[in-house]
Amino acid sequence: MVGSCHCGAVSVELERRPEFINDCDCSLCGKTGAAWAYFAVDEVSVRGSTRTYRRVDRMQPGVDVHFCGRCGCTTHFATLPHIPHDMIGANMNLFDREVLTGVELRYPDGRNWDGASAYGYRRPSEIL
């Protein structure tokens, strides 16, 4: 299945339908307009040139968010080296709704996420 940004300069191709989609309400996901599905790196092919953004409100961000430099649509994210899971998050808003019929939509509480627990590493206060 293939999705693309608004202008068509960047496309994201997936080998399979996602198991679920996260419509996160954190400040980053909400403001970038992303609804994420997660895949192994070898299950995703991105074509076209993207720019990246790394959030500045976390001491140790977990991903680089990619977007089309022409139309600005968020396309995907890639995990950073300190994250134990090498994965890509695809913005499912790039895909036609018809191909997503029946996929579970989840609403995680991203506004209250501490940025640590999802990746399996501990906050500095938990190490002492």
DSSP E strands: which ranges in the chain?
Answer: 2-4, 11-14, 20-22, 36-40, 44-47, 50-53, 63-68, 74-79, 87-91, 104-106
Q: What is the CATH code for 2-110?
A: 2.170.150.70
Q: What pLDDT score was predicted for residue 114?
A: 63
Phi, psi of 92 (to 5 degrees): -75, -10
pLDDT category at 105 given cuts 50, 70, 90 is: very high
- For residue 11, pLDDT beyond 70: yes
Q: What pLDDT score was predicted for residue 68?
A: 98
Phi, psi of 99 (to 5 degrees): -80, -10
What is the spatial distance between Cα 80 and Cα 91, in angstroms, rounded to a whole number? 17
| Dihedral angle sign, alpha carbons of residues 31, 13, 85, 54 | negative
Q: What pLDDT score was predicted for residue 27?
A: 84
- For residue 77, pLDDT beyond 80: yes
- Here the tokens at position 126 are 């938990």
* In the chain, domain spans: 2-110
- For residue 119, pLDDT beyond 50: no
What is the spatial distance between Cα 26 and Cα 54, in angstroms, rounded to a whole number? 14
